[in-house]
Amino acid sequence: MFTIPQADSDPSVLRSSILQTVDNVTHGETDLIANCANVASVLYHMLADVNWAGFYLYKQDELVLGPFHGKPACIRIALGRGVCGTAARQRRTVVVPDVEAFPGHIACDSASRSEVVVPMLRDGVLIGVLDVDSPVPDRFSTDDVALLESIACLIMSR
């Protein structure tokens, strides 16, 4: 059984604790769906002000909804569409401080105000994206983005 540590009020301690928890819940497991499912849970429960945390997986030239926590979301996203499709096509992290200012943003939960999407690559091959949404504008700091990139990398190394 895994336990989710108490949230620390110090953001940098909290980020370390989240990375450690992600390491714990994926340790020794190679199944992508299982790891994504537990990581979605960890992020949703440990990050403050997050209304959606989860994954889209790259299948037959589109992104398909994977494990997540939050409200039901759109199932298929074409490469290049929305924040997820942009991050996937460009193979780069996309940080959106204001979703209304992002052309083509796909609104799955109307509460979302800011968003970050990190591509997940294994040996240069696109596997999917990690997507986190917040009801707070400009929610994600550079350190938060670095944390999510480390997490995506860690999952890809399992």
Binding of residue 52 to ligand SME (CB under 6 A): yes
CB of 131 to ligand SME, least distance (A): 5
Binding of residue 132 to ligand SME (CB under 6 A): no
DSSP codes of every residue in 98-149: -GGGSTT---SSTT--EEEEEEEEETTEEEEEEEEEESSTT---HHHHHHHH
Binding of residue 83 to ligand SME (CB under 6 A): yes
Binding of residue 111 to ligand SME (CB under 6 A): no
Q: How many residues in the shown chain lie near ligand SME by CB under 6 A?
A: 14
CA distance 1 to 20: 15
Binding of residue 115 to ligand SME (CB under 6 A): yes
CA distance 25 to 118: 20
Select the residue interacting with ligand SME from 15, 105, 113, 139 (CB under 6 A). Answer: 105
Q: Are 69 and 52 in contact (CB under 8 A)?
A: yes
Select the residue interacting with ligand SME from 77, 95, 118, 130 (CB under 6 A). Answer: 77
> Counting every residue, how long is the chain?
158
Binding site for ligand SME (CB under 6 A): 52, 73, 77, 82-85, 105-106, 108, 112, 115, 131, 133
